[in-house]
Amino acid sequence: MSQNLTIGLFGFGCVGQGLYDVLQRSVRFKADIKTICVKTRDKKRSLPDSFFTYDKRTILDDPHIDLVVELIDDADEAYHIVKTALQRGKNVVTANKKMIAEHLGEFIELQRTHNVSLLYEASCCGGIPIIRTLEEYYDNELLHEVSGIFNGSSNYILSKIFNEGQDYPTALKKAQELGFAETDPTLDAGGYDAKYKLVILAAHAYGIRIKPEEVFNYGIQYFATADLDVLKSAGLKVRLRPVARKLNETEITLYVIPEIISRSHKLYAVENEYNAVVVEAAFSDQQLFSGKGAGGHPTGSAVLSDISALTYGYKYEYKKSSGTVKVRYSTSVKLPVYLRVQHADSVEELAIENPEIIEKDGVYFIFGEIALEELIRRKKWLEDNRIFLAVLSSENRKLLEEVLLEDAVAV
């Protein structure tokens, strides 16, 4: 049954203002934003002062506010706001992926205990409706894999490198100027943002609850001209690809690692700040969802959809976690990889299986297999040595070998 909601909004930045615009322009749906809590007192606002408060209690203590929409940029403070709101019997909509990924288990319990609903469609890939799709549409489908491009800023950087020949620092600066990138570039380019989203999607796709720090993420920061030259000659590209893959009936693996892809790959044409999710299932096969993963209006639209869902009492049921077959997270998987290193002895350091080393112009290109467990153990070493690492298929490995062996030396 449809119900009117009185909203207390936290945050009036990019997404908060985007939501306000979207609400103003939505013809059929009317919701009442009663109070907006922000942080900075002397900021110029586009709405009258009477809307704003600087004290979170004005919203949290207000018995007439039944829905808290949390859109601030501070994950720790957001956690306290969301937890308190749920404990006080208020429904919550949020876009904060870090907070959800880190506290999902506790939030699920709070929803049950206090009979409230917490929705967070906007936390994963902005305007792409993927959480409810996994939760509802794929509730009984056998999902083999959920992957994609979950971070617009790293995809924008890779697009500028591959399509315009920009170097990494120039492309990163441009992404920051355009507002796509976080101030700390490691969050985007290092795969952390994508990892938070992966952890959330895996909970809805497979019913698996895992802490983000348990999942391996490796970024695109160490991608260099030497990689670009060889990849372009082979007609290949790189995408930063988060993957949740079913290994067997009871095991799922998760990781975020750059992947070398060819023109036939579903993610090849997804460029710039766009996001995409590829769902691979037993019966529906591969499906690609793509769209704007960030920005005030696309993200505001996902928040609006959650608000609207609450008017008819929607809750995530976390159906997959209540099934009879429990799945567990596994790192016992071997990945076919490409590495570009300065020293051939990196092979021993990294325990690469069946390695093939090709030296070209004083740079060593290594192909082989690495266990995900080894990567987790050696992440710091990889980063300290600024090694570029990517996953690739055997077909793409062959293409790269052909390019490299034209005038290079197999070691």
Ligand X SMILES: NC(=O)c1ccc[n+]([C@@H]2O[C@H](COP(=O)([O-])OP(=O)(O)OC[C@H]3O[C@@H](n4cnc5c(N)ncnc54)[C@H](OP(=O)(O)O)[C@@H]3O)[C@@H](O)[C@H]2O)c1
Task: Just list the catalytic residues.
Answer: 197
Contact flags string 43-62 toward ligand X, x per CB under 6 A: x-------------------
- Report the residue number, 93 or 158, with the smaller CB distance to ligand X: 93
Asked whether 11 and 73 are in contact (CB, 8 A), the reply is yes
Which lies closer to ligand X via its Cβ, residue 18 or residue 368? 18
Cα gap 122→18, rounded to integer Å: 12
Cα pseudo-dihedral 222, 224, 226, 230, rounded to 10: 90
Integer Cα distance of 332 and 237 in angstroms: 27
> What is Dmax (Cα atoms) for the chain?
74
Give the whole-angstrom CA distance, residue 225 versus residue 6: 54
Q: Stretches 128-136, 143-151, 251-259, 294-302: which one binds ligand X (CB under 6 A)?
A: 294-302
Binding ligand X (rule: CB under 6 A), the pick from 7, 31, 59, 95 is 95
Q: Which residue's CB is nearer to ligand X, number 121 or number 401?
A: 121
Of 8, 129, 242, 295, the residue at the interface with ligand X (CB under 6 A) is 295
Q: Which is nearer to ligand X, 238 or 302 (CB)?
A: 302
> Where are any strands of DSSP class E within 134-173?
143-149
Q: Is the CB of residue 204 less than 8 Å from the CB of residue 320?
A: yes
CB of 187 to ligand X, least distance (A): 10
Q: Candidates 82, 122, 189, 276: give the one binding ligand X (CB under 6 A).
A: 122
> Which two tokens mark 156?
């924008």
Please identify, using beta-carbon distances, which residue of 73 and 369 lies nearer to ligand X. 73
Chain residue at closest Cβ approach to ligand X: 13
CA–CA dist 32, 28 (Å, integer): 13
**Choice from 7, 10, 199, 223 touching ligand X (CB under 6 A):** 10
Q: Quick check: 72 binds ligand X (CB under 6 A)?
A: yes
In whole angstroms, give the CA distance from residue 170 to residue 188. Answer: 15
Q: Which amino acid is at 226?
A: A
Write down the least CB distance from residue 8 to ligand X, Å.
Answer: 11
Question: Which residue ranges make up the site for ligand X (CB under 6 A)?
Answer: 10-16, 37-40, 43, 71-74, 77, 95-96, 122, 126, 294-295, 299
